[in-house]
Amino acid sequence: MEQEYWMMYFDGSLKKTGGGAGLVFISPLGMRLRYMVCLHFPASNNVAEYEALGNGLHIAIELGIRRLDIRGDSQLVIDQVMKESSYHDPKMTPYCHAVRQLKDKFDGLKLNHVKRRFNEAADELAKAASGWRPVPAGVFVSNMHKPSVCYEELGEAGNEPPVPDLEADPSDPEVMEIDADPAEGADPLPDWRAPYVDYLIHESLPTDKMEARRVACRAKSFIIIDQELYKRSHTGNLQRCIPSEEGRSPLQDIHAEACGHHAAPRTLVGNAFRQGFY
């Protein structure tokens, strides 16, 4: 029996406070999954749209979805992906290339333009992500601190755009740079978990207003179990949060020891996520 199509609505938003992406998945049985992605880097409205589409495809792959009916209200993005429109902004080239690369991951993929009034659910999530609003109940939230593609050096006109690393976990593409051999006597790194633990247990926030809003927004995806901090991934799995110092050990195991892996940093960290660490 042929597998039925899931539906995915996507939208991007850009405000003075930042960029954001919203995603709504609807299963053939009517189950809904909602996602917000906060963009913490300079972005245009079209970049936000592409980040929404790209993150949505990665999430669909992680969920094991094989047939997907994608709907968005950005005519430009859809036309570019469908090869019906040219690129006036060179930054769009690697984004479009990355989206097309994921097509083979599906047995069936549709991409359709819809009017904005039919995309309100994804639009509201995107606006919430870009405006640092409280995360609605039942919504998965993630943060991006750098673009999912590399468009800093596109080369000469007509050259192929750089191929992005597409294997990192879409739940949080931020990469933490880790010095594998830190200098002796260096100050220990602060525990990044502390603000979230303080907020979840004591409802205490940092004194800096922007940092307080960031912690309060991100804390929605964390939970305390037996005095341990865990993060809910976009697939609903719990990842045990570990300090930066402790994180070196699993990264080194994945990279150099039994697994012998020579992957890019984002892929390496993505593999650690899939082992249940964050």
pLDDT digits (tens, 9 = 90+) for 125-182: 999 999 877 888 889 999 999 999 876 544 433 333 333 333 334 444 333 333 334 4
**Could you tell me the CATH number of the domain that includes residue 80?**
3.30.420.10
Nearest alpha carbon to residue 49 among 25, 26, 74, 71: 74
Q: Is the pTM of this model over 0.75?
A: no
Residues 261 and 140 in one domain: no
- Main-chain dihedrals φ then ψ at residue 73, nearest 5 degrees: -105, 10
Residues 113 and 203 in one domain: no
**pLDDT at residue 219, rounded to an integer:** 82
Q: Residues 6 or more apart from 77 whose CB is under 8 A from it?
A: 46, 49, 50, 53
Residues 21 and 97 in one domain: yes
Alpha helices in 120-208 (DSSP H): 120-130, 194-202
CA distances from 32 to 8, 122, 132, 138 (A): 10, 12, 23, 10
CA distance 272 to 252: 10
Spacing of C-alpha 39 from chain mean position: 9
DSSP 57-80: HHHHHHTT--EEEEEES-HHHHHH
Strands 18-26 and 222-225, by their bridges, are unpaired
**pLDDT at residue 237, rounded to an integer:** 72
Spacing of C-alpha 272 from chain mean position: 16
Residues 40 and 124 in one domain: yes
Residue 180 forms part of a structural domain: no
119, 144, 169 - which closes a domain: 144
Residues 44 and 133 in one domain: yes
Residues 111 and 52 in one domain: yes
Residue 184 forms part of a structural domain: no
* Average pLDDT rounded to a whole number, residues 2-16: 90
The range of the structural domain enclosing residue 33 comes to 6-144
Residue 108 forms part of a structural domain: yes
Residue 125 forms part of a structural domain: yes
**pLDDT at residue 152, rounded to an integer:** 52
Residue 154 forms part of a structural domain: no
CA distance 60 to 158: 31
pLDDT digits (tens, 9 = 90+) for 48-85: 999 999 999 999 999 999 999 999 999 999 999 988 76
CB 177 within 8 A of CB 265: yes
pLDDT digits (tens, 9 = 90+) for 249-262: 555 555 454 444 44
Locus of tokens 């995107």: 126
CA distance 255 to 252: 5
Residue 227 forms part of a structural domain: yes
Number of structural domains found in the chain: 2
Residues 245 and 136 in one domain: no
For residue 109, the SS3 value is strand
Residues 32 and 139 in one domain: yes
Question: Helices 45-62 & 92-101, crossing angle to 10 degrees?
Answer: 20
Residues 125 and 206 in one domain: no
Residue 16 vs residue 170, higher pLDDT? 16
Residue 226 forms part of a structural domain: yes
109, 144, 179 - which closes a domain: 144
Of 45-49, 139-143, 197-201, 205-209, which gets the smallest average pLDDT?
205-209
Q: Residues 6 or more apart from 264 whose CB is under 8 A from it?
A: 165
